[in-house]
Structure 1
Amino acid sequence: MTGLLAAATSAADKRAAFRAGLASGTIQRFPGAFNPLVAKLIQDIGFEGVYVSGAVLSADLGLPDIGLTTLTEVAGRGQQIARVTDLPVLLDADTGFGEPMSAARTVTVLEDAGIAGLHLEDQVNPKRCGHLDGKAVVPVADMLRRLGAAVAARRDPAFVICARTDAAGIEGLDAAIDRAKAYADAGADLIFTEALRTPADFEKFRAAVSIPLLANMTEFGKSELLPAATLESLGYNAVIYPVTTLRLAMYAAETGLREIAATGTQSGLLDRMQHRSRLYELLRYERYNEFDSDIYNFTLERIDDGRIA
């Protein structure tokens, strides 16, 4: 039964694994999961962690990524995903869902949900997608209050608090570096700088900041899509692929639906579908059957006159 209905690895051990990975010298790859089943697939293929994107969660609810989701919605989805995987889960907590006290509460709620770490950004609340123009960042002092509240609220010292800065595209790379240094001094464990464009930008940021760094390799954005090995050689500790699985799934779903609409049948799509047997393998159907048999494989004993004992 261990590891069947829920992950066998405790939240504490997942957080320890996340921290160990950041210190290992090997880049930690965190693809985004838009549901728990995708998280199981990410683990099965052999990645180091799972990412929960705020943009993806918004899109999954049919909403744009402009700060419309709530802490309850995000924590609920994060908990569902963390429950099924032995990998650490890093979650996008936007701006902390309000003022500094809300950021503090966000940390405690996500700790209770089994999340390994979160990132908070320095955008003005409500935020917008980090690769769109027209963003605005709060003054450094405001972000330090937001971040300081989160750090102070942390109960498990292994819970990773990542500070994201969106300043590079607004105030310039040097300003983003200055912000990152201030955020590290305020207690951030990991720095996520959004929308760097070239390998030279990533290299300059790495040379200036001493704590672990996270790179965002999102498609159709401002950043050049660099291989994980390149990012590792530049000294980055983690990389996220936040929207990749959703984009793949939505493209496949739209293509398939259009073919059904045009032809009236899905028969031509079968070779592009996950087979039932593979789904059952991910869900560990056979283990559930074994578990069920172990529980209910008793026989009824009867006493001498034939009645059930």
Structure 2
Amino acid sequence: MSKTRTRRLREALAGDRAVMAPGVVDAMYARLVAEAGFDAMYMTGAGTSATRLGYPDVGLLTMTEMVDNATRIADASDVPLIADADNGYGGPLNVRRAIQLYERGGVAAVHLEDQVLPKRCGHLAGKQLISAVDMVAKVKAAVDARIDPDFIVIARTDALAVDGRDAAFDRAEMYREAGADVVFIESPGPTDLPLISPRFPGVPLLYNMATSGKTPFLTRTEIEALGFKLIIYPNWLLLSACEAARRTLETLKRDETVADIAPQVMSFKQFFDTARMAEVQELEARYGTPDDHRTTY
């Protein structure tokens, strides 16, 4: 029997190398990550808000919208998915429901943050926190709610930017004691990074390689040396695609033809191959779809 995605992610986190999880916003990005051979992927809340609403990550997406997106992503590949679950969308009972929905949707791990409603991206200014005691209750609710014991609960604190390093470390320690599997201290700078692992020996730590630059753009080896076990790259794929799309639009507007653009983009066949055309064709053949109605390139 093959291992579950939750088990594979948990074993990867226990391995020698830090797990790299590129950020995805939809099923097609999940297919690309699978093709590239990564061991995990990450559903970014900021990217989900941008692609589904055209708005920044300021708490506008609901729990059901986030779960729906995560479920579609998880269904698109067998790569373990780590998902942003914001602040749990309410109190401990809301957290319980969120965990249950994410788990049923095929997600392997989620992270919860200690911000108030409405929350905002961890690399934006103006964050506000709930009490540490209230967050401990949410972490306990999340741990209790999971059915699969391998489902991973990641506790994130945004206290570093709000109340300073000592407060952030104290909160992270409380969340770990409440049962969190992984600790996520948001937005550490160069002077903070060497101090985190010594404070949490043996605890899996998450490194958020956000595009803001507040946390340094280090290599995997450098991050491992600092004691981190999980690295998420939230919006790098989306930003790469947006910049490529902008250049394509500028060229099309200027030249009024796609002739010069065509050699620079994924081919028609590559696109449908990534979208699982081979699987569709196999199913059509299995179920006897007439040859003249089968899907072809």
Q: Which bin holds the TM-score, normalised by the shorter protein?
A: over 0.9
CA pair 167-48 structure 1, distance change in 2 beyond 3 A: same
**Residue equivalent to 2:152:** 160
Residue matched to 1:303: none
SS of equivalent residue, structure 1 residue 161: strand
2:134 is aligned, of 128, 133, 142, to: 142
Q: Partner of 2:48 in structure 1? A: 57
Distance (Å, rounded) in 1 between the aligned partners of 2:100 and 2:123? 29
- Whether the aligned pair in 2 keeps the contact of 1:218 and 1:243 (CA below 8 Å) is yes
Deviations for 1:260-303, whole angstroms, at most 9, x for unmatched residues? 1122112221232111122233234234323322331899xxxx
Q: Distance in 2 between matches of 1:274 and 1:241?
A: 23
2:26 paired with 1:35: yes
Find the counterpart in structure 2 of residue 291 from structure 1: 283
Q: Report the Cα distance in structure 2 between the residues aligned to 1:168 and 1:112, rounded to whole angstroms.
A: 33
- Aligned-partner Cα distance in 2 for 1:258–1:126: 36
Whether 1:19 aligns to 2:19 is no
Tell me what 1:193 maps to.
185
Aligned to 1:223: 215
For the residues of structure 2 that align with 1:215 and 1:194, how far apart are their CA atoms?
Answer: 8
Distance 1:174 1:275, change over 3 A: same
User: Deviation string for 1:46-67 (max 9, x for gaps)?
Assistant: 1110100111111012122111
Q: What does residue 84 of structure 1 align with?
A: 76
Q: Secondary structure at the match of 1:123?
A: coil
The normalised TM-score by structure 1 is 0.89
Q: Which residue of 2 aligns with 1:250?
A: 242
Determine if contact 1:131/1:221 at 8 Å carries over to the other structure: no
How large is the RMSD of aligned CA atoms in angstroms?
1.8
Is the 1:94–1:120 Cα contact (8 Å) retained in structure 2?
yes
Identity %: 36
How big is the shift at 1:72?
0.8
Opposite residue 127 of structure 2, the aligned amino acid is K
Alignment match, 1:272 = 264
Distance in 2 between the 1:34 and 1:74 partners? 10
3-state SS of paired residue (2:126): coil
- Partner Cα distance (2:21, 2:82) in 1: 8
Task: Supply the distance in 2 between the matched residues of 1:134 and 1:96 (Cα, whole angstroms).
Answer: 19
2:199 pairs with one of 194, 208, 220: 208
CA distance in 2, matches of 1:298, 1:43: 31
What does 1:115-126 correspond to in 2, within 5 Å?
A: 115-126=107-118
The 2-side partners of 1:118 and 1:110 are apart by 8
Report the AA paired with residue 102 of structure 1. Answer: N
Deviation at 1:110, TM superposition (A): 0.6
**Structure 2 partner of 1:93:** 85
Distance in 1, Cα, partners of 2:148 & 2:285: 39
* One of 169, 173, 176 as aligned partner of 1:181: 173
Contact 1:195 1:221 in 2 (8 A): no
- Structure 1 stretches (4+) deviating beyond 4 angstroms? none
Give the number of the structure whose alpha-carbon radius of gyration is greater.
1
Unmatched 5+ residue regions in structure 1?
1-7, 300-309
Partner of 2:36: 45
Q: 1:298 to 1:276 in 2, by over 3 A?
A: closer
CA–CA distance in structure 2, aligned partners of residues 137 and 25 of structure 1:
34
Pairwise CA distance, 1:203: 2.0
Rounded Cα–Cα distance in structure 1 between residues aligned with 2:279 and 2:134:
51
* 1:174 to partner: Cα distance: 1.9
SS in 2 for 1:32: strand
Q: Which runs of 5+ in 2 are unaligned?
A: 292-297
Q: Which residue of 1 aligns with 2:225?
A: 233
